[in-house]
Structure 1
């Protein structure tokens, strides 16, 4: 495999996976970027916008737009930190109430996409991806 094929293949795979996820989340008025923020806050707890940017490897402007949409939907709120420039992002009660339905939708898409692969390949895929992510420089 030529070196550039890795990036092309990963990009194509990522786009197809995100499109499938968006199709399912659209029923709930969400997109994959919003789900990423919601999932991260659910699993990591309250984070500053800067911490979210770092964790999700996203630039500040698109994350700001995503957070603004989530605020309008009443799924997250921003709490002023000790420093005036610092805002902590937290899930609202509305988001916590709706989270199980969103999670089920994501899990259903996940299962559908992985279904063609045998269980051993699914486990190996997760192992490889997690190992690779941990080894990438921040």
Structure 2
């Protein structure tokens, strides 16, 4: 397999997984990019927009748009930091209340996608991704 084929396949897989997740989240008016932000805030608590961007490897402009959408939906709020430019992003009470529904939809989507993918193969893939990601950072 050439490097091109490997990366092309990874890109195709990533797009397909994103599309599947978008379908699962559609009934809630959410997209995968929004879910990523909500999930990270749920796990890590309040973060600055810069920290979110860096953690999720997302450029500032698309992160700003995603956060603005989530603010409009009432799922996150922005809290001014010490510096005028710094804003902390955190989940609203509404998001905390709705989160289990979103998480359930994502879990069902993930389980359907994994289907007949053996647990040992899942663990191997996770290990490979972790090693590769560490090398990139």
Q: Residues 119-134 of structure 1 correspond to what in structure 2 (within 5 A)?
A: 119-134=119-134
Distance, in Å, in 2 between the alignment partners of 1:63 and 1:5 is 30
Q: Residues 1-138 of structure 1 correspond to what in structure 2 (within 5 A)?
A: 1-137=1-137
Distance, in Å, in 2 between the alignment partners of 1:99 and 1:134 is 29
Q: Deviations over 1:49-77 (max 9, x none)?
A: 11111000000000100000000000000
Distance, in Å, in 1 between the alignment partners of 2:3 and 2:60 is 30
Q: Deviations over 1:92-125 (max 9, x none)?
A: 0000000001011111111111112112111211
Q: Tell me how far 1:15 sits from its aligned partner.
A: 0.4
Distance, in Å, in 2 between the alignment partners of 1:52 and 1:119 is 30
Structure 2 unaligned runs (5+)? Answer: none
Structure 1: 4+ residue segments shifted above 3 A = none
Structure 1 unaligned runs (5+)? Answer: none
Distance, in Å, in 2 between the alignment partners of 1:134 and 1:106 is 26
- With normalisation by structure 1, the TM-score equals 0.96
- With normalisation by structure 2, the TM-score equals 0.97
Partner-residue secondary structure (3-state), 2:17 = helix
Partner-residue secondary structure (3-state), 1:88 = strand
Q: Tell me how far 1:12 sits from its aligned partner.
A: 0.1
What is the CA RMSD across the aligned residues, in angstroms? 0.8
Distance, in Å, in 2 between the alignment partners of 1:71 and 1:121 is 39
Q: Tell me how far 1:4 sits from its aligned partner.
A: 1.2
